[in-house]
Structure 1
Amino acid sequence: MQDFENMKFCQSCAMPMESEEIYGTNADGSKNEDYCIYCFKDGEFTSDMSMEEMMDFCIEKMVEIHPDIDRAQATAMMSETFPKLKRWAND
């Protein structure tokens, strides 16, 4: 069973970061514990998108990966989570 209270989530896309292999990288090559490899590489975000664009992308992925979650549920979860993530908190 996973310990969600202590689990790290990407502060850009909210993906669970269950191991260091998923951590993004800083400019000096060190691991970045805030962002995943898909969102952050070599000290920069991998894509220049708005929070809404990121949410749309992640909603598609979530319903694809989790057939038990429909688009409305995924949208509700993302709408609550994303504004609290570091990358989007100041938007």
Structure 2
Amino acid sequence: MEVFEILKTLREKNNLTQEEMANRVNITRQAVSRWETGETQPNPEMLKVLSREFNISINTLLGSPRQLYCQCCGMPLTEDSMISREPDQTFNEDYCKWCYVDGEFIYKQKDSLIDFLLQHMPNPQNQSDDERRKLFDSMLSQLKHWKA
């Protein structure tokens, strides 16, 4: 979906007129109309306002142009419900809700996350824990949160 289609669908899903949507985010009805025709797009600050007001990630508002991955555990973030939140409830699109909660990282040390993965991730190739630990460490070390 294009951004203009997403914005119109968002408005309609919330049973709002263009005027009502404009009032919710403190802009003119004409601005909403221009978004919905594709003439213009919301600026970055307005995307943040829309994200907060309608509980939708900026990535989703933009038509999911990039695949998000948790930068702590590497899990694909395929739905907004999986994305972490800051204490003010804005989305933090870098982390999943299981690794980052209310501004705090759950896994303070990479080894604690690796221990969790060893216990909970399938092991179809019957690798030893040492082999799996090395693999997990190698993969996690490429993510933003664990880069040295």
Judge same fold: TM > 0.5, yes or no. Answer: yes
2:133 maps to which of 75, 80, 88: 75
**Number of residues paired by the alignment?**
81
Q: Please give the alpha-carbon distance, in whole angstroms, between the structure 2 residues aligned to 1:30 and 1:15.
A: 20
Q: Which amino acid aligns with 2:124?
A: D
Q: RMSD value over aligned CA atoms?
A: 2.1
- The alpha-carbon deviation at position 74 of structure 1 amounts to 4.2
Q: Please give the alpha-carbon distance, in whole angstroms, between the structure 1 residues aligned to 2:87 and 2:132.
A: 33
1:25·1:41 contact (CA, 8 Å) conserved in 2? Answer: yes
Unaligned runs of 5+ in 1: 1-5
Structure with more helix by fraction: 2
Q: Which amino acid aligns with 2:116?
A: F
Q: Which amino acid aligns with 1:57?
A: F
When normalised by structure 2's length, the TM-score is 0.47
Q: Does 1:88 align with 2:146?
A: yes
Q: Please give the alpha-carbon distance, in whole angstroms, between the structure 2 residues aligned to 1:53 and 1:80.
A: 15
When normalised by structure 1's length, the TM-score is 0.71
Q: Higher relative CO (CA 8 A, sep ≥ 6), structure 1 or 2?
A: 1
2:99·2:107 contact (CA, 8 Å) conserved in 1? Answer: no
- The alpha-carbon deviation at position 22 of structure 1 amounts to 0.3
> Which aligned segments of 4 or more residues in structure 1 are displaced greater than 2 angstroms?
67-77
State the match for 1:3 in structure 2. Answer: none
Distance change (3 Å), C-alpha of 1:34 and 1:77? same
Q: Does 1:26 align with 2:97?
A: no
Matches within 5 A, 1:28-43: 28-43=88-103
Q: Please give the alpha-carbon distance, in whole angstroms, between the structure 2 residues aligned to 1:10 and 1:69.
A: 25
Which has more radius of gyration? Answer: 2
State the match for 1:58 in structure 2. Answer: 117
Identity %: 27
Unaligned runs of 5+ in 2: 1-65
